[in-house]
Amino acid sequence: MSNNPLHVVILAAGKGSRMHSNTPKVLHKVAGRTLLDHVITTSLELEPAQIHVVVGHGKELVIDEFADIANGSSLTFVTQKEQLGTGDAVNHALPNIPANANVLMLTADVPLIQTNTLRQLVESMQSHTLTVLTAIVENPFGLGRITRDESQAVSGIVEEKDASAEQKRITEINSGIICARKSRLSDWLSQVGNNNNQQEYYLTDVVEIAYKAGDPITTLQPHENDEVNGINDRVQLAAAERIYQQRLAAQLMRDGVTIIDPSRIDIRGLVSIGADTIVDVNCVIEGKTQIGNNVQIGPNCHIINSEIADGVQIYANTVIENAVVGARSQVGPFARLRPGSKLADGVKIGNFVETKNAQLSFGTKVNHLSYVGDAKVGENTNIGAGVITCNYDGANKHKTEIGKDVFVGSDCQLIAPVKIEDGATVAAGSTITSNVAEGVLAISRGKQREIKGWQRPVKKNK
């Protein structure tokens, strides 16, 4: 890569009117991350000296979205008060860029661009003053065309609205991604006018100006044309989502993950999945999620911001959110682990079980139809069907503590705050309102009665 410092300028000031949204276009999402986040993340992999994001429409929302990243980092924001075109936007960033820098100009609505493509673009600055990323497409409608002279040297870029009929037949298009030397870029931009149908200052005009000045210009093309797909409406947003998901699925499979149907998985966030893990169809995995090796995930599961250790089995239709699942545990089907659930190794959570803010120790079983919330459960405890930890009194939450080797029979209510000591047994159908001592049987039932001659109610005729 060139010895000159690299500065990245990301154009993110546009409104995106075709999105028909109150949300700035650059904050719409692909794979759970904003379009601008994708471009910033890719830019950071180039290790630039500075990233300058030019904002305008909805700038407060955009800046707030990236406040945590920008604080103390190489990311800064530049305001373009009036949207007078891409050339004007870059001009706003130039005063903060040293004269010896290479300037990589990106657009925030092209989120699929890949690092290797941009790295090649920057490396071309060793022998050129200007490099344009182009692509050959079947349908160039609406895109800027690359013009060339008789020797096939790049002579300019003409926008669709300004192109002649002959120029509209050109299939080599401008991606909107350009790299240039700052020392020459400033001079070119000073010559850009707004004598066009949009009455805007086009960044693309610098290509013709550089050509006429005799500056060396080259073009590069991406490995895949999908990389330069721009997003202007929600149809294109959805198309980008599918492309990105296919990329993620392909990489996971190359890394040793079995994905039953790559077209039916969605990864949204910073997700890692270990080798020999199997993911069935229609699974959505979001946020900062780590999934270990040899995990089996059944169909229709939703995992969010969670840690799943090695050898876990997650059965169909299970939801896991902000939870930790220990090695060789089993969860589901139709289970829900809510935030704060922490399962140690070898825990079994069965069908229609819900946990919340609960710590379950090694070997504990909650097999079916139970709710365990605001609770701490010891090792090798069995919680039967239909058990409820009654943790909420209508105003405050209270904790249930259950020791190790406890057996809680079916259809019990444990009224928190309450503590059940090690080795205790709670008989089925009990409502426990007081602490249960170690090793005892606790039983709390109404006395069974039989009423002879009982007549069932008879439905009355209307």
Question: Which of the following is catalytic: 28, 38, 92, 368?
Answer: 368
Sign of CA dihedral 43, 138, 238, 58: positive
pLDDT at 1 over 60: no
pLDDT at 199 over 90: no
Residues 79 and 213 in one domain: yes
Domain that holds residue 281: 258-442
Mean pLDDT of 123-132: 92
Give me the pLDDT at residue 69, please: 81
Return d(Cα 1, Cα 216) in angstroms, integer: 18
Residues 177 and 264 in one domain: no
Residue 320 in domain: yes
Work out the mean pLDDT of the chain and round it to a whole number. 95
> DSSP readout, 302-361?
EEES-EE-TT-EE-TT-EEES-EE-TT-EE-SS-EE-TT-EE-TT-EEEET-EEEEEEE-
Does residue 171 contact residue 135 with C-beta atoms inside 8 Å?
A: no
Residues 282 and 196 in one domain: no
Question: What pLDDT, in 10s, does the model give residues 338-389?
Answer: 999 999 999 999 999 999 999 999 999 999 999 999 999 999 999 999 999 9
Whether 223 is catalytic: no
Q: Residues, the chain, total?
A: 462
pLDDT at 74 over 80: yes
Residue 243 in domain: no
Residue 253 in domain: no
Residues 276 and 159 in one domain: no
Residue 291 in domain: yes
pLDDT at 462 over 80: no
CATH number at residue 26: 3.90.550.10
Residue 248 in domain: no
Residues 280 and 413 in one domain: yes
Residues 170 and 215 in one domain: yes
Neighbour tally for 195: CB within 10 Å: 8
Mean pLDDT of 231-250: 97
Give me the pLDDT at residue 2, please: 58
Question: What pLDDT, in 10s, does the model give residues 137-193?
Answer: 999 998 999 999 999 999 999 999 889 999 999 999 999 999 999 999 999 999 999
Residue 448 in domain: no
Q: How many domains does the chain have?
A: 2
Residue 241 in domain: no
Question: What pLDDT, in 10s, does the model give residues 80-122?
Answer: 999 899 999 999 999 999 999 999 999 999 999 999 999 999 9
The residue out of 177, 210, 228 marking a domain boundary is: 228
CATH number at residue 275: 2.160.10.10
Q: End-to-end alpha-carbon separation of the chain, Å?
A: 89
Q: Which two tokens stand for residue 410?
A: 């079916």
Residue 116 in domain: yes
Q: What's the helix, strand, coil split of the chain in %, to 5?
A: 20, 30, 45
Measured at the CA of 309, the angle between CA 304 and CA 315, to 5 degrees, comes to 65
Measured at the CA of 131, the angle between CA 127 and CA 136, to 5 degrees, comes to 130
